[in-house]
Amino acid sequence: MAERVRVTVEELRLKNFRAFENARLSFSDLTYLVGRNGAGKSSLLDAIALLQEAVSDSLENALDRRGGLHNVSRMGALQSDRSGFGLALVLSVELPGRESVRFIYGFDLIGVGSRPYQVKERLAGSTQAGFERIADDFNAPGRKLDASPPEGNLVLPLVARSDSLWTHLLDAVRGLRAYELSPAQMAEAREIGERTTLLRNGANAGDVLKALPEGSQFWLLERLALITEGITWVQGDAILGRRVLRFRQQQGEMVNTLDASNVSQGTLRSLGVLLALCQQPEPSLVLIDEIENSLHPSALGVLLDAALARCDRMRVVLTSHSPEVLNHPSVTGERIRVIEWHDGISRIFCLNPATQTAVNEIDTVGWMLSSNALWTGPTPETFGDDLFALTGAEG
């Protein structure tokens, strides 16, 4: 069997995106995002979603869903006649029998007056050649583009098939997943779809559940039974062309079959989190917003253990402002990123070294948060002056 090429998402960079002016979010295997309401956690989730949509559908559609370029550009940047924003990912590729290679891929958009925005798109590797595209110009050593780059859209989906390594990088960007799970949407009987990828709100949970291989179904059910007592099975049934979630629950000597509308929001939300973590094909990164919503502390422990178990297969990012979550043993100082908003700008911080060292079984991150002792480093995490630089000052 051929060895698998593994692509790991190392960091996200944001330039003038919503309230972020210059920010760098580095990912641990399991990353916890902490911040006050309005600090910018939801903007990070949307940046992940926009990147994924831009290479899976189109950049134009991704922006239109958000009201256009000016709606996602930082307010301060809009005062310039060359407003816009940029997003980029740093990715590490492990090649069979070779050392890993780092790449950066992203785009920088510039809007000039009332004219359409200009796209600067770049793929660059630490030891491998990539490409640069500026508006209608495409430059890649030894490669030609048969047609002009698509105006207002991205070129990577068109050229990836010319290089197997680029294909793996494209798959990793398409494998980004960001979730704001809605139990109400999950409980609705939806028209049956062919999608096996869980939607942002979890509404197609029945379709995704049905497509899971047997081993993944068992993994999910084993954990769901620890969260909701008596659950023995869950499946997506087809009824009149719609997909309905049904649960079996042991109640005394009887086993009752329950529709999704008859189970708790916590059970549905837990199902959504577990599906996000074990869906096929495996994502490159899963970000789940406010994992603690509607959940009992004991259920939280099961889900956090599940996230920890999956983070050797994908990057897992959880946002939370709950001490219950941040008391979990998986929450180490190195895995915390703090989002702060001040004077209209959102910034990302790591904990300072002394605070990271102080995290232990007694002085947990949750305790530090409650005690206002979650001290960050002195400077925010930035990418320097060049959005696309793989080397140079960072931080």
Whether the CB-CB separation of 212 and 274 falls below 8 Å is answered with no
φ/ψ of residue 96, rounded to 5: -55, 125
Give the whole-angstrom CA distance, residue 331 versus residue 309.
Answer: 14
Mean pLDDT check: name the lowest of 102-116, 228-242, 319-333, 381-395: 381-395
Q: What is the pLDDT of residue 1?
A: 43
User: What is the reported pLDDT for 358?
Assistant: 92
| Domain membership flag for residue 205 | yes
Q: What is the mean pLDDT of the chain?
A: 91
User: Quick check: is 129 in a domain?
Assistant: no
How does residue 357 score in pLDDT terms, banded at 50, 70 and 90?
very high
Of the listed ranges 71-80, 150-159, 171-180, 331-340, the least confidently predicted one is 71-80
395 band by pLDDT with thresholds 50, 70 and 90: very low
Is 60 exceeded by the pLDDT of residue 393? no
Tell me if 143 is assigned to some domain: no
d(C-alpha 313, C-alpha 388), whole Å = 26
Range of 13-22, 155-164, 382-391 with top mean pLDDT: 13-22
Q: What pLDDT sits at residue 143?
A: 81
Give the best-scoring range by mean pLDDT among 11-20, 69-78, 384-393. Answer: 11-20
Please check whether residue 201 lies inside any domain of the structure: yes
Report whether the peptide linkage leading into residue 281 is cis, meaning its omega lies within 30 degrees of zero. Answer: yes
What is the model's pLDDT at position 100?
A: 87
pLDDT confidence bin for 115, thresholds 50/70/90: low
**Res 79: pLDDT:** 54
C-alpha span between 200 and 204 (Å, rounded): 9
| pLDDT bucket at 112, cuts 50 / 70 / 90 | low
pLDDT digits (tens, 9 = 90+) for 89-108: 999 999 887 788 999 999 99
pLDDT digits (tens, 9 = 90+) for 137-164: 999 987 888 777 888 899 999 999 888 8
Q: Is residue 9 part of a domain?
A: no
| Average confidence (pLDDT) over 178-203 | 93
Question: Residue 226 is part of which domain span?
Answer: 183-280
Residue found under tokens 């916590």:
266
Domain assignment of residue 105, yes or no: no
- 179 contact partners, CB below 8 Å, separation of at least 6: 45, 198, 200, 201, 202, 272, 273, 276, 286, 287, 288, 289
> Is 205 a residue whose pLDDT tops 70?
yes
What is the mean predicted confidence (pLDDT) over 254-263?
92
- Checking phi first, is residue 138 left (phi over 0); if not, alpha (psi -120 to 50) or beta? beta
**In-domain check, residue 208:** yes
Pick from 189, 243, 180: which is nearest to 211 by CA?
243
Q: How confident is the model at residue 394 (pLDDT cuts 50, 70, 90)?
A: very low
* Mean pLDDT (whole number) for 67-73: 91
Domain for residue 229, yes or no? yes
For the cut 90, the answer to whether the pLDDT of residue 110 exceeds it is: no
What is the band of 201 on the pLDDT scale with cuts at 50, 70, 90? very high
Residues 6+ apart with CB under 8 A from 213: 280
Domain tally, the chain:
1
